[in-house]
Structure 1
Amino acid sequence: MKVCGVELKGNEAILVLLQGQEACFELLDHVTRKITLKDSDCAAEVSLFRKAVDDFMANNRVEKILIKKRAKKGKFAGGPDTFKMEALIQIISGPEVVLVSPQALATMEKKRSISFPAPLLKYQQTAFLAGVWGLVHI
């Protein structure tokens, strides 16, 4: 199974591709590590973001998308652009989209003592965890 872990931060969707099964998976190398929503108030830019995500998922034959959930209110609430990006990703036709809580990711990381692969960049670690969660729990 091929999955894409996603973390939404600011105006960027951070992406990590993984393939395999629960105990045996590999990090897939891909050129696009982030997709940026340049201006969330401009309909043309929002459409470009959606098309870029749609093309990325289709070109990489992604079967499931795992997005790290953001809080809707409180100190760690996600920004408005992240919710717009989440909605745009959720309506992409094709792959199933699953939202994963930060608590679920932290629990899995502790239980499985996950180590991050060398080619993974620091800012991709949360997206990587979301992808691993998808391979382990779905």
Structure 2
Amino acid sequence: MMNFMPGCIFCGSGADFDVDGFLASSPWSGIADIFRRGPTGNAYRPIRESSSLQIAVSPIDEHLLEPQTDATLSFLRSYEAEVRRLVRFPGVDAVEFRMGLFWLPDTAIYPISLTPSFLKAVGDVGATVDIYVYASDGVN
């Protein structure tokens, strides 16, 4: 049994992204997790190729798609101008909403359907949606 569930994470990243410069005047300062390009001190990933910021958009224990898309739309309503600023910020290569789902045993098909209004809202700000489907033996 897995001890975590993915939820939706908002991420902005780029090899030349000055994450500290961006956050200096951002409402996300203090709530975003920051990852800086360069040595990490981690044997698994000794060098981070890009700098990035990440913000939990939905609870990390949310494994259903609809609540994640609802949380993303709420995030966009609250921070649309800031998401657009991030998309245009120098050095930013990618702005993504990363949604996680579990593929459960005995599942023959996992339909993923995103509404036109959701896709339009994300596309209008210049972000992408990435859906990660994790193998699992069950969900808590």
TM-score by length of structure 2 reads 0.31
Higher helix share: 1
Bigger radius of gyration: 2
